[in-house]
Structure 1
Amino acid sequence: MPPFDLPESDPFSPHNLPYGVFSAPGATDRTVGVRLGDHVLDAGAAALALGSPYASLLARPCLNPLLAAGRTTWSDVRRALTAWVTVPAHQSTVAEFLHPLSSVTLHLPFEVADYVDFYSSEHHARNVGRIFRPDAADSLTPNWKHLPIGYHGRSGTVVVSGTDVVRPSGQRKAPTDPAPVFGPSVRLDIEAEVGFVVGTPSPMGSPVALADFRDHVFGLCLLNDWSARDIQAWEYVPLGPFLGKSFATSVSAWVTPLDALEEARVAPPERTHELLPYLDDTGADAEPGGYDLRISVAVNGHVVSEPPFSSMYWTAAQQLAHLTVNGASLRTGDLYGSGTVSGPAERERGSLLELTWNGRDALELPDGKRTFLEDGDVVTLSAWAPGPDGVRVGLGEVAGRIVGQALG
């Protein structure tokens, strides 16, 4: 039966309608799809059948044309899609273009332009500081409360959920080793994050203000910033992450539009340091900036952490403002990650580095102990956000399996 009468508990109800890209059974062509329950609507085919003016944006092999169309069009398309799956007069036409989710192949939903990753959870940053600088007077670096720290990553290795992650090789050197060695990472980690997808571009030399965040960012998705901690530790001084991060970044197959998350908007934590004007979101007229997203991290099906995104110190709007304050331009398809999401409790840490305290305290899993990831391990991030009238808005999961390097 077509999923027009979903139970209220379904996290992919008509209030959600996240976007993805899929291939139908037996087809090789890709097209934009919208998730409804455990089905996928071929949005392009439905738009053509209904004579919609948005067919030119939806009957495409990726989301980039829709992303580039801008906020007014995003809202108009969303209203049209909602009507197609809720108004009885449209349902007989739309039903023809629904596919069971289990029968389709999901693809990377947009062409990634640039990729930037931030470091914006105070709980994560303090944990990292305590691990690596235990004798420091302050576990945070001096700049941390003044700007959202980030690095530029590699857009070409952003992959869709379900893609295997090959264990990376590189140089590593333990403090007691006389010289570096080369080989596969032995401290492979995860970072549970949220990714923000840019739609409307901006010209070079024109910073994006806090108030303009929602005019440029289309939506969000879950993101796993895989990290080879041993490679990272040896290479990151003085220029920061490089090969320890660039081998793979996994994102969900579904992008949830910001318009689906209105009820999930929350104020960020209290600011403890005065912010420069371009980052100052403390005014009475400032938009909330934060999002109440409840994330779960599972290793081989066993939940090991539940990080709360509402605790993030730096918001996505501040990250975008800082990313562009030097005049850097935005491009359609830009992706930026929130940084590891961690809360104040041990059960809320978003990386194995923190959960095992740099390998000191092994996790007890049903299939054995873990400090860092082993070949064959499957990591799955899932999340939901509060919606209207108690409805949950589901974020598409992001999963990846670690595989060893092929020999020969």
Structure 2
Amino acid sequence: MTWVEDEAFRADQPFGPQTLPYGVVDGQIAVRVGDQALPLRPIASSFGEHAELVSADTLNPLLAAGRQAWTDVRARLIELTQAAAAPKGATLIPIDNAVLPFQVADYVDFYSSKYHAENAGRIFRPHDEPLLPNWTHLPVGYHGRAGTVVVSGTPVVRPHGQRKGPAFGPSQRLDIEAEVGFVCGGPVTSRVSTSSAADHVFGVVLVNDWSARDIQGWEYQPLGPFLGKSFATSVSAWVTPLDAFSAARVHTPPRNHPVQEYLVEDQPWGLDLLLQIDWNGTIVSRPRFADMFYSFAQQLAHMTVNGATVRPGDLFASGTVSGPDRDQLGCFLEISWGGRDKITLAGGEQRTFLEDHDTVRITATAPGPDGSVVGLAEVAGTVLPAS
């Protein structure tokens, strides 16, 4: 019997005692318990030597503390939230005022769904092979814009840019990409092995990599995404600890040839997550993260193999999560097949790409221990007209 009075704080609910994601509310670190938040600063004395970490106003000190501290703090949180009596000073507050919970250091975005890569290749380069020769040999990615990572709920202004013509103006083909993000921590280091990747990944968030397809299509060759992506990237307000996904680990899909030694895994780090994309109240897709060709451990190993460092606050995203069927695709470029096919929403409205004032919400769950459900906090955003 727990002292936490919240109907959503049950093992069969996404934010029950098996999940306990971290966020920042009202200027202090909190943990989500059901549909409420438990601030940690008032109960910091319950965490012993880690009291200072949980008293901070951002997650960055905790990120820097490393794997053992993460394990200790989570174990203590499980004890405290499962106890019959509340710890001295504990209060539950609304989750509405959650802000971006960590200062983003560097941001990298990958491109690791084979289904998405093949579909995008067929749409953007219809007369060429959909996959470039390197794709099955390494996790393709690019270095994004850390300064435009925003918390869920932040409105997204339709971006301006160049498109084919050339012409200039507001994007006419604004899109989303449903992705999974990994928040890094631990000591600053490089050349991270797949076997030690978990020591440098604190937790998991959902990501919406907003994409202006007309700007992207004109600019992306030969150097890849730039202004078509850099205007906004939305992330969840709550970071679900990597430790919460112990029951969701799976092998990545089989491949036709071996990978380089630094990408070989000695344990499975694919994750069995089920995403859901809601467009103005209509569920338009349910992508499966287990279909991703590369795991986060392989992505982190590749990201640092050249000597580049990983540091606390770094964020890297999986790339669009797509599956083999139309109701498993992770962006509107794919669902509409480049704007060819209409997508029907509730009330009969039809879309190909986003219109002003449209709202997109991405949610996800994973299997938890003993039949429980682990949740990832939603990432949501509404499109505002071009300024």
Residue 27 of structure 1 is matched in structure 2 by none
Given the superposition, is the C-alpha separation of residues 301 and 4 from structure 1 closer, same or farther in structure 2, using an over 3 Å criterion?
A: closer
Is 2:59 the partner of 1:22? no
Residue 402 of structure 1 is matched in structure 2 by 383
Give the SS at the match of 2:224: coil
Counterpart Cα distance in 1 of 2:321 and 2:114: 9
Residue 280 of structure 1 is matched in structure 2 by 264
Counterpart Cα distance in 2 of 1:3 and 1:397: 22
Which of 66, 87, 93 is 2:88 aligned to? 93
Counterpart Cα distance in 2 of 1:147 and 1:278: 10
Counterpart Cα distance in 2 of 1:258 and 1:228: 31
Residue 132 of structure 2 is matched in structure 1 by 141
Contact 2:107 2:145 in 1 (8 A): yes
The residue identity in structure 2 corresponding to 1:401 is T
Residue 35 of structure 2 is matched in structure 1 by 38
Q: Mean alpha-carbon deviation: is it higher for 69-78 or for 126-135?
A: 126-135
Residue 361 of structure 2 is matched in structure 1 by 380
Is 2:115 the partner of 1:129? no
Residue 105 of structure 1 is matched in structure 2 by 97
Deviation at 1:38, TM superposition (A): 1.0
Which of 293, 301, 315 is 1:335 aligned to? 315
For structure 2, the residue ranges without an aligned partner over 5 or more in a row are none
Contact 1:115 1:154 in 2 (8 A): yes
Q: Mean alpha-carbon deviation: is it higher for 126-135 or for 159-168?
A: 126-135
Deviation at 1:9, TM superposition (A): 2.1
Residue 392 of structure 1 is matched in structure 2 by 373
Which of 188, 192, 196 is 2:182 aligned to? 196
Give the SS at the match of 2:243: helix
Which of 299, 303, 312 is 2:292 aligned to? 312
Given the superposition, is the C-alpha separation of residues 97 and 52 from structure 1 closer, same or farther in structure 2, using an over 3 Å criterion?
A: farther
Residue 112 of structure 2 is matched in structure 1 by 120
Deviation at 1:4, TM superposition (A): 6.6
Give the SS at the match of 1:223: strand
Aligned pair count? 383
The residue identity in structure 2 corresponding to 1:13 is G
Counterpart Cα distance in 2 of 1:295 and 1:134: 28
Is 2:238 the partner of 1:254? yes
Percentage identity across paired residues of the two chains? 56
Contact 2:174 2:211 in 1 (8 A): yes
Residue 245 of structure 1 is matched in structure 2 by 229
Deviation at 1:92, TM superposition (A): 5.2
The residue identity in structure 1 corresponding to 2:238 is W
Deviations 1:222-267 (A, max 9, x none): 0000000001111111111100000000000010101011000001
Contact 1:295 1:384 in 2 (8 A): yes
Residue 3 of structure 1 is matched in structure 2 by 5
Residue 334 of structure 2 is matched in structure 1 by 354
Residue 278 of structure 2 is matched in structure 1 by 298
Contact 2:6 2:36 in 1 (8 A): no
The residue identity in structure 1 corresponding to 2:48 is S
Counterpart Cα distance in 1 of 2:250 and 2:158: 38
Contact 1:121 1:339 in 2 (8 A): yes
The residue identity in structure 1 corresponding to 2:325 is A
Counterpart Cα distance in 1 of 2:55 and 2:12: 30
Contact 1:46 1:97 in 2 (8 A): no
Give the SS at the match of 2:383: strand
Please give the root-mean-square deviation of Cα atoms over the aligned residues, in Å. Answer: 1.4
Deviation at 1:273, TM superposition (A): 1.7
Give the SS at the match of 1:401: strand
The residue identity in structure 2 corresponding to 1:337 is A
Give the SS at the match of 2:147: helix
Counterpart Cα distance in 1 of 2:47 and 2:136: 52
Deviation at 1:371, TM superposition (A): 0.4
Contact 1:171 1:181 in 2 (8 A): yes
Q: Mean alpha-carbon deviation: is it higher for 348-357 or for 126-135?
A: 126-135
Give the SS at the match of 2:74: helix
Contact 1:235 1:242 in 2 (8 A): yes
Deviation at 1:135, TM superposition (A): 3.0
Counterpart Cα distance in 2 of 1:220 and 1:92: 27
Given the superposition, is the C-alpha separation of residues 4 and 163 from structure 1 closer, same or farther in structure 2, using an over 3 Å criterion?
A: closer
Q: Mean alpha-carbon deviation: is it higher for 3-12 or for 388-397?
A: 3-12
Residue 12 of structure 1 is matched in structure 2 by 15
The residue identity in structure 2 corresponding to 1:61 is D
For structure 1, the residue ranges without an aligned partner over 5 or more in a row are 24-29
Counterpart Cα distance in 1 of 2:156 and 2:285: 21
Give the SS at the match of 2:161: strand
